[in-house]
Amino acid sequence: MLASFAPVLGVMKFESTPLGFDNWRRLAWLAIEWVEDAGGFAMVGLVIWIIIGLIYPVNDTLPDGKKRNRLVGPGMLLSAAAALTAYLVALGLTYVVAGEQPGVKTIQVLGREGSVMVVFLEAALTVAGLIALIGFGGPFVSDCFRLRWRRIYAIAKLSFKEAVRRRIVWVFLVILILYLFPARWFFQEKPEDELKSIIGVTTRGMNVLLVSVGLLLAAFSIPSDIKNLTIHTIVTKPVERFEIILGRFLGYLGLITGALVIMTGFGLMLINAGNVSEEAAGESMRSRVARYGDLDFKSLKASDFKGMDVGKENGYRRYIVGRSSQRAVWSFSSIPDRFGTENSVPLEFAFDVYRTTKGTEGIGVQVTFEVVSHTWDPDKRIDDPANPGAQIRMEDAFNRDLQAQKLQNVNVTPEDAKNWAKVDALAEQYGRYVFNNWQVFDYHTSSLPIPGGIFRNANKGTPTRDSAIKVDAKQAPPRVQVRVRCESPSQFIGAARYDLYFLESEGSFSFNYFKGAAGLWFRLVIALVLSIACSTYLAGVLSFLTALMLFIAGFFLDFIQELASGTNVGGGPLESLARLIKNDTATAELDPNPVVRVLQGGDAAYRWLLRRVMNVIPDVDRYGLSDYVAQGFSIGPDFLLINFITLAAYTLPWFVAAYYLMKAREIAA
Amino acid sequence: MANVYQQAAKRRKLAYLAAIVVLLVCSLGVRGSFFRIDRKEVEQVKGDPLLALTLDGRAKIHELTELQQGEKELGGAAVQLLLTGSRGLAVCALWNTAIDKQKRQEWNELDIAVDSITKLQPHFTAPWLFQSWNLTYNVSVEMDRLNDMYFYIARGISVIAEGEALNRNNPDLRYNIGFYYQNKFGVSDRVTTLRCLYQLSCIPEEERDPERLLNPDRTVNQEKFEQFCRDHRELVRRLKEARIPLDGSDEKAQTLASSPSEVIAFLRANRRLPSRYKAGSTDLEERRLKQFPVFPDLRGQPITTRELSYDARFGDGEQDAFFAARAWYSLANCSLPPPNPVPNNDGSFNPDPLKYRIPKRPATIIFRQGPMRAQSYLAERLTKEGWFDPRDPWIVDDLLDEDRAWMPRTGPDGKRVSVEILPWEGSTAQEAWKEAAERWRIHGNNNGLRMDPTRLLTYLSKAEEYAHTKPGLFVGSMPPPMTPEEAKDAHLTDLYEAFKVMWAWYSNRTNTNYETFELESDAMQSDDAMLAKKRFRQADKAYRAPNYAEAVRLYDEGFAAWQRVMLARQDCRARKAADPSFNQQCRDFRDLDSPQESIYETNLKYVRLAQDVRQRQLRDSTMWLNDLLYHAGGSTSGNPFQFACDLNVLALDVERNQERPADPVRIESRVPQFKAITPLALPGPMDGNAPDGTPWISDDVKRRIRERLGLAKPAVPPANASLIPTGPGGDAARPPGR
């Protein structure tokens, strides 16, 4: 008979660990990299600005009759000189690093390993970047103090009204059509995927329409003002040039934010009012708060076991084989106190099943879960309560008690309250809970109740590195470990870090839906900033196309990164062209003749250029938060905040560039 | 008054304007826009020479207008327009997305990408074929749960059906739909459950609601359950009786449901499935393409056979994927040129490319036999599931203990009786085989795969005559092209044509395996074939019951019936016996590999069983035989007391000791010998020869089956002497050291 099917839930799939405040080293490195990249651009800007300022000076006459170049001050010159010196030092260090032999002594700085020279090189680049930023951003910062909210608000209001007058808002109504026609009318999908498809399709639709509108509005605003000479009505008034940029930006942002909020609300209303299937509601109309652990793979046969590769093209998961000593182990270094007060805590998981034999029809792969706390030590000798004065191994005592309670090899669920209480008490006493032979099906998430006793036990004392449950030196000593073992012979299960989690709590789907819209808002901010910054120098159409190209390139950042680092299949554009002409396959080695070498040299130059351009391309994929909503996972406030910080870090240089370009434009006029 | 330049400019502009208007009017005229051809019938356009000359008119006649290509998909058309010139770019991006999503195993996203790709280029058939195959085969097999697998098979079929609707008259799309149905629900390795799910899709959700079959106290409502079994007899019987191997072992096979409550659990676990009916309603989906299983719209098609239509409600006997496959194959054949009853190898010849299409694959002659093949599969399925003939009911609780009975009933005499359910009207193996035989016969006649013996003989003699004119040529080989001189000779041309016909005759019959299908369907429609199959099935059940003696009896009856079937269909042998000069290649039913293999496997099973059942007698026979040989050899020595060492005498002695253990044991040391005595090997009914002296089963088939079952070691292929390198003198190089 077919086994009863597991309830359908969900898991998130992250190719790389999402940013979080808990990993401060990674954040610090991101900040350093930002200073290096932005500093590099600042240095280029600084040099160009100084040259233009010296060739076309705008002089102020001082009270003593002397002239002072308003564009290039001594501070700017000084910082440029200092930054240049630091960059020269960095150049020298680059030469040294390039000549380093393998096996040179390394040190660890903020969790990253490198030779002393590499550390110095990073430091030199950071210092140089920082100085260049100060030099280039100084005037911008000092001018920011002259900005007045009243004036910015007036320009923003004007921009808003202009856009409304142009009947832009009608475009937004088109998006509503997406909601009015349920996705199931167009796509035949599995019932549990229905809401995912609705969210996916509507988010994509909103992305296209809102971003296009934002790009068009912002790209044509300042060029139109200049072309129609209406800008003179503003610039002849005591208005800071940067206030025009900010005003335009905030005005359009306000309009599009309003539209986004209304559409999100309307969309949510239609989802709630619509006849979403029961399965889809169970899968996606939720807002799970997940507690993730760190994943390790263990095997008695290999101390450095990292899980097996079964040859799947997508190497996201690693695999363990059935009926072996291999384990997938999740370590949780912190556990909410609330878990201890619960009767049971859901442990949710979804594993990939890889079969080497057909197995039995309708029967999943069997998996055993062992949940242990840091106090569990099978070999530790404890006082035997049944035999005062004597000692017994902890594991023997646990097994004896299980047997006494008639619970050995019995899987108990909370519905069986009497036995569950016994299981809970044992888990609290020993810090161990085992569930045998759970059936796992491919692409379906299951939920296993874990007794609260485990967590009460885990919250006792402080875990140390001497505990019986061992983890890597890099990881904090865990309070709880979940060990997963595959029981079906010749079958494999594949696991990734985010495939298993404790369900901490559940939030509101509606609120989460709005939080998901914040991702789109972040993208809109990027689109507006790019458009406005480009429009300060380029004509409307060019601004629109440049901003659009940069924005679209953001969706292919992974590919561009591969291309820039030379790891993509088929080589750079010239090499690919040669392959096309010669009808060679992308993976074939090219004959290293002089022509090929020249082409590869050209590609190397292209890659160098691409690496510089890459820093300008926004990582728009980062802000795709709709996946969280579609899968039914809560978007945490810290995650939103960190995304906002990265957004600010990306947009700030563009604002500075826009500030200078607007200033330059005035100079040109 | 304008000056001269202004007047010239004005005149020039007027001339331009006039030219523009004239050109526009002319182009509209040539196009036929003034005649509203889109509102006229094809015949009307053909009848009017003026209309037939216009572009629109010619497009209409040749069925090239957008509306004549197939159904319209407005959503896709709107998106295509919106994308203007960037459709190719969007399709490339979507194709990459689809590959990426598949790699990441994000199936719902892949599904959406596939849908978008096909919507953007609806008249390009390759994406329909590729992506539907991808979903039906590559994606579905990734699924662990069978209802997930079923969903993606259904999705793949729905995708290609949508493509077929948008691309009218495309034989490849139609054939592939039929093939998917036949392959996935007919011959795949998880076919039992998939067939059940297919059948559920043909039943309104309300009718298969598991709650409907339960009492308020959650026990099974016997009355309603029995009615459900009667309404869906094939489904329930399959759930109850079809055995699915466990861990790949047939010995440990089990059924999908061993009690009514498990049937209900199956219905519950598979409640949400793609269906022909509207959700929660007993009304059929109005849009054909929203139904699953999706059937073709056969209205107006030149199909003479009875095929199921998408707007009909199917009875239990029609809820089979082979019906869908047959309908789609039949429709696919409508796109092809009419068949040629003279054997030929002109599969790619198209007499009217505007009207007909030639399929890309498989070869046209194989392509054409799709409906017949599906019918044979249907007949095989009914045979396998035990629906033999209209008089043979399904005895629901046959050979079951009372406490395991699904529908316990007591007869008037107080004894247990079993509920009996007759096959669905028209849905029995015998009827299906009859229809298959008829279809194969008509197909053979129409496509030059079957010929009147006299006509065939005429062709053969001419072909032989032609073969004699050219050294190295033999009948059935590919004819060389005729030289211009030869072509002028009418007699030689006639012989050459006959030679070509014989070449096509042999190659087409070999490529299509036509002879096998025809002989098989002809034999299987007989009463004896059905009786034999019925007895073998009953014997298998008796064996599992276990009731070995009964099983042996049933097998015996089955083999007797099967031998009658074999002897009744020996046309080839009869012809050869009647006419020693008869030299045509032909076979009888008993020469076919597939029935021979199947019956020999049964024969081996029978032998094992019979040897177990008759072990005592067979061991005795061994002893008698041994004694007989012993005496035959001993008589020459002249020892009158050697009978004391007879195995039978010793055995009797041992038995006597066992009966009276207190008696002294005389020859205990000989006891183990008796236990080790091998029972005399029993020949199976199919091991010997038929009355004509030829073996029932060929030695080659016997060897193959024994090797497959592990009863014999695979024969070692002879060493290939040519692989041994030879030295300059021609001697084989010897291994070093020898």
- Interface probe with A: pick from B105, B252, B268, most Cβ of A within 10 Å: B105
Stretch (H or E) spanning B532: helix B527-544
Which residues of chain A neighbour B142 with C-beta distances below 8 Å? 442-443
Q: Do A200 and B109 touch (CB under 8 A)?
A: yes
Residue B247: band (very low, low, confident or very high) from pLDDT cuts 50, 70, 90: low
Facing B257 at nearest CB: one of A1, A197, A442: A1
Whether the predicted pLDDT of A134 surpasses 90: yes
Query: Quick one: pLDDT at residue A7?
Result: 35
Query: Which range has the top average pLDDT, A440-444, B238-242, B276-280?
Result: B238-242
Look at residue B281 in the predicted model and tell me its pLDDT: 86
ipTM of the prediction greater than 0.90, yes or no: no
Give the chain A residue whose CA is nearest to the CA of B158. A188
Taking CB atoms and an 8 Å limit, are B111 and A314 in contact across chains? no
Q: Would you place residue A225 in the very low, low, confident or very high pLDDT band (cuts 50, 70, 90)?
A: confident
Q: Residue B644 gets which letter from DSSP?
A: G
DSSP state of B338: P
CA atoms within 13 A on the CB side of A576: 10
pLDDT at B721: 46
Q: Check A189 against B265: CB less than 8 A apart.
A: no
**What is the mean predicted confidence (pLDDT) over A379-392?**
84
Test the A interface: residue of B106, B107, B144 with most A CBs within 10 Å: B144
The predicted-structure confidence for A334-368, as pLDDT tens digits, reads as follows 899 899 899 999 999 999 999 998 888 878 999 99
Give φ, ψ of A68 to 5 degrees: -130, 135
Chain B residues with beta carbon closer than 8 angstroms to that of A353: 144
Per-residue pLDDT, B279: 82
- DSSP letters, B217-241, are TSSB-HHHHHHHHHHTHHHHHHHHH
Phi, psi of A423, deg, nearest 5: -60, -40
How close is the nearest chain B Cα to the Cα of A452, in Å?
A: 32
- Where does residue B710 fall: left (phi above 0), alpha (psi -120 to 50 degrees), or beta otherwise? left
Q: What is the pLDDT of residue B138?
A: 93
B632 vs A65: CA distance, rounded Å: 148
Q: Residue B596: pLDDT band by 50, 70, 90 thresholds?
A: very high
Identify all chain A residues contacting B97, using CB atoms and an 8 Å cutoff. none
Record: contact A187-B115, CB cut-off 8 A = yes
**Residue among A190, A201, A358 whose CB faces B248 most closely:** A358
Q: What is the pTM of this model?
A: 0.81
Q: pLDDT of A58-75, one tens digit each?
A: 888 888 888 888 888 888
- Do the chains contact at B193 and A443, CB–CB below 8 Å? no
Window from A180-189, A640-649, B603-612 with minimum mean pLDDT? A180-189
What tokens were used for B330? 């039949």
Are B215 and B188 in contact, with CB atoms under 8 Å apart? Answer: no
Q: By 3-state DSSP, what share of chain A in percent is helix, strand and coil, each rounded to 5?
A: 55, 15, 30
Looking at chain A from residue 362 to 401, which residues have their Cβ under 8 Å from any Cβ of chain B? 362, 364-365
At residue A410 the predicted structure's pLDDT band, cuts being 50, 70 and 90, is: confident
What average pLDDT does this structure show over A574-592? 88
Residue A443 to residues A364, A493, B287, Cα–Cα distance (Å): 11, 12, 31
Do residues B152 and B273 lie in contact, with contact meaning Cβ atoms separated by under 8 Å?
no
pLDDT of residue B151: 92
Q: At what angle do helices A169-180 and A194-227 cross, to 10 degrees?
A: 170
Report whether A248 contacts A163 (CB < 8 A): no
pLDDT bin (cut points 50, 70, 90) of residue B666 is very low
Residue in chain A nearest B250 by alpha carbon: A360
pLDDT in tens, B149-184: 999 999 999 999 999 999 989 999 999 999 999 999
In this predicted structure, the answer to whether residue B733 has a pLDDT above a threshold of 50 is no
Q: What is the pLDDT of residues B269-319, one digit of tens each?
A: 998 899 999 988 899 998 999 999 999 999 989 999 999 989 999 999 999
Query: What average pLDDT score do residues B729-734 get?
Result: 39
Q: Which residues contact B688 (CB under 8 A, 6 or more apart)?
A: B695, B696
Residue B270's pLDDT is: 92
Between the two ends of chain B, the Cα-to-Cα distance in Å is 122
pLDDT at B490 exceeding the cut of 90: yes
Q: Which two tokens stand for residue A1?
A: 């008979």
User: Is it the case that residue B339 has pLDDT exceeding 60?
Assistant: yes
Q: B275-284, B400-409, B503-512 — which is least confidently predicted? A: B400-409
Chain B residue set in contact with A, beta carbons under 8 Å: 75, 103-109, 111-112, 115, 142-146, 148, 151, 155, 158, 189-190, 193, 244, 246-248, 254, 256-258, 262, 265-266, 269, 272, 274
Least confident of A241-255, B206-220, B650-664, B706-720: B650-664
Q: What is the pLDDT of residues B528-549, one digit of tens each?
A: 999 999 999 999 989 888 888 8
Considering only the beta carbons, identify the residue of A5, A360, A442 that sits closest to B247.
A360
Of A5, A188, A200, the CB nearest to B158: A188
Residues of chain A contacting B257 with CB distance shorter than 8 Å: 1
Name which of A2, A187, A359 is nearest B112 (Cβ-Cβ).
Answer: A187
Residues of chain B in contact with residue A441, where contact means CB-CB under 8 angstroms, are 144-145
> What part of A 189-218 touches B (C-beta under 8 Å)?
189-191, 193, 196-197, 200-201
More confident residue, B614 or B124: B124
pLDDT of residue A190: 75
- Which of A5, A187, A188, A313 would you mutate first to test chain B, the one with the most B CBs within 10 A? A188
Q: What pLDDT is attached to residue B654?
A: 56
Placement of tokens 């060019």 in the chain: A542
Of the pLDDT bands very low, low, confident and very high (cuts 50, 70, 90), residue A191 is confident
Closest alpha carbon to B616 in B673, B680, B553: B680
Closest residue on chain A to B194 (Cα): A361
Residue B73 has pLDDT above 50, yes or no: yes
Confidence of residue B729 (pLDDT cuts 50, 70, 90): very low
What is the C-alpha separation between A431 and A457, in angstroms, rounded? 6
Selection from B584, B588, B583, B593 nearest residue B572 by Cα: B588
Is the CB of residue A349 less than 8 Å from the CB of residue A503? no
A443 touches chain B (CB under 8 A): yes
Q: Do A2 and B105 touch (CB under 8 A)?
A: no
> In this complex, which of B103, B112, B155 lies closest to A314 when CB atoms are compared?
B103
Amino acid at A152: I
Q: Above 90 in pLDDT, residue A615?
A: no
Give the pLDDT mean for A277-295. 86
Interface test with B, best of A440, A443, A559 (most B CBs within 10 A): A443
Tell me what the pLDDT averaged over chain B comes to: 86
Nearest in space to B32 (alpha carbons), one of B16, B48, B13: B48
CB contact under 8 A, A361 and B190: yes
- C-alpha distance from residue B541 to each of A192, A564, B247 (Å): 41, 69, 22
Check if A188 contacts B (Cβ < 8 Å): yes
The answer, yes or no, to whether residue B458 has pLDDT greater than 90, is yes
Over residues B434-461, mean pLDDT? 94
Residue of A nearest to B114 (CA): A187
φ/ψ bin of A409: left (φ > 0), alpha (ψ from -120 to 50), beta (otherwise): left
- Given a contact cutoff of 8 angstroms between Cβ atoms, the answer to whether A336 and A291 are in contact is yes
**Six-digit token string for B480:** 């060389």
The reply to whether residue B143 touches residue A5, judged by beta carbons under 8 angstroms, is no
CB atoms within 10 A of CB B322: 26
Nearest to A190 among B108, B112, B115 (CB): B108
Q: Which of residues 257-286 of A touch B (CB under 8 A)?
A: 277, 279
> B678 pLDDT exceeds 80?
no
| Percent of chain B residues past pLDDT 70, beyond the cut | 88
Stated as kind and residue range, the H or E segment containing A134 is helix A116-144
Residues above pLDDT 70, as percent of chain A:
95
A406/B202: higher pLDDT: B202
Q: What is the pLDDT of residues A446-471, one digit of tens each?
A: 899 999 999 999 998 888 877 777 77
> Residue A368's beta-bridge partner residues?
A485
Instruction: Give the best-scoring range by mean pLDDT among B31-45, B395-409, B637-651, B719-733.
Output: B31-45
* pLDDT attached to residue B679: 65
Mean pLDDT over residues A215-242, rounded?
83
Amino acid at B446: N
Distance CA(A440)–CA(A430), nearest Å, equals 27
